[in-house]
Amino acid sequence: MLTTHDITGGNSGSPVIDAKGRLIGLAFDGNWEAMSGDIAFEPELQRTINVDIRYVLLIIDKLQEHKPD
């Protein structure tokens, strides 16, 4: 999912929280236009690429199922 967050290097894995304070995802990367965000934020162009928290939990669950004893 895309959001209009302003992120910079080192923010990968940061929580994405909705208006009700619920964790809905994790920041993954920025689009190409976001690379200039350290100099000037352009809200009409810059986006943060996020992974939905439900997918993260699904993958964790699947990895746990295949964990060697």
Are 65 and 17 contacting, i.e. CB atoms less than 8 angstroms apart?
no
Cα(15)–Cα(48) distance, rounded to whole angstroms? Answer: 12
Give the predicted TM-score (pTM) of the model: 0.70
> At 58, is the pLDDT very low, low, confident or very high (cuts 50, 70, 90)?
very high
Contacts of 41 (CB under 8 A, 6+ apart): 6
Q: Where are the domains of the chain?
A: 2-65
Q: What is the pLDDT of residues 5-50, one digit of tens each?
A: 777 777 788 899 999 999 999 988 765 555 555 566 666 767 788 9
- What is the residue-wise DSSP string for 7-54? --TT-TT-EEE-TTS-EEEEEEEE-GGGGGGGT---TTT--EEEEEHH
Q: What is the pLDDT of residue 12?
A: 83
